[in-house]
Structure 1
Amino acid sequence: MRKTTNSSQMLINQLREITGIQDPQILLRALKTSQGDISHAVGLLTTQPPEEGQGTDEIPDTEANREAQKVRPEVGKEGAPPKDDLQTAIELSLQESQAVERELNRALDANVEDSAARVKRKCCEAQGESCSPADWIRQDEWPVGIHNMGKTCWFSAAIQSLFHLPVLRRLVLNYCLSERILEKCKSHSVLGPLCCRRAFERCFQIQ
């Protein structure tokens, strides 16, 4: 008798591990229904309920079966298991994080551009200069920009982007040629470019 009890308990423990059902009464009834056949008992505890139109002869409607259906995970209408909730949550979280990151990058880019514009505007205002080259005004015969011409084109092209800087413009516009050169150059059309070139040569120590 004790040997039979031990054998039944061992089978019940195996059923518990296989099916995850903890109720010993349900496990015992399934074991009795299967007449000690553990494979049959597992089938009774884990078999899906019959679909509409199918008979119920192969799967008896027992309390063990009903309890097994409660503990088994739900299955979709197509017979496929539902998508893992954790994976779905991770994907949604990643999508939200990427969207937030894109918005942050756009905001940072806009802020950088706005800050650069404000700094440039303040610098121009402090120097008494207009930020727009179109608003620059000639001083006498002096140009507001540099025109590439003749043998100085390589040099003027190199410093073209620097001429709008107030400091550099003042150095060029306020540069004075020697009396000897002024005596030789009476025409402003020649004097202006020559003075610009000499001023830049002095600024950049070009020999």
Structure 2
Amino acid sequence: MQNLNRRAKQLEFATFGMGCFWGPESQFGQYSSVIHTRTGFAGGTSSEPTYRNMGDHTETVQIAFDSTLLSYEDILRIFWDSHDAFKDRYFKERQYISLLIVHSTKQLRIAEKVKNELENKYGKTIQTEIQFDVPFYPAEERHQKYFLKRFEKAMTSLLPLFNDHTSFAHSTIAARLNGFVKEHGRLDAIKNELSEWQLTQKEEALLREMLATIRW
């Protein structure tokens, strides 16, 4: 099966929680630097959490992105600009807290820099809990690309391009369309972006044909 994902020059990961994970996965899927997205759980102590048995974990989103196109600092500024990180209490205890998982000392330094800048700007303390490279547990299949799956006709066009649901959920095109259906990005922008993905001629043609015939 073809690899239909955008190629990355410098792959990096960002993991964070900012409320229910369906929305952030859709929001961040729109950016041209993002290779793939997935929802999951992190930040707690219990092993193998699930949506129905989350324990003390938090709903999180993990994105893989090309940091030559969008920096980790850019990602953090979008993250903190997209939710109220000054709150010190959250509905359902830890499930929806503001959480940032950094994956390296470099990411930690950048996070502390941006956090300090925003606190000085607004005169408030950011309550985001920052943890260092703790495990990320992917959520169940039904929670991946949640909004895109509401469109059954579109899914009928998409799924045959992939070997299994995991390949679909980890694909760049699924991330983009999951953003598009929530009005994050435009379909013509996705089509224009394909030429930058460094796909083979056959791979690009498959995606262009699918986008030309997809029904919502």
Give the TM-score normalised by the residue count of structure 2: 0.19
More strand by share: 2
- TM superposition score normalised by structure 1: 0.19
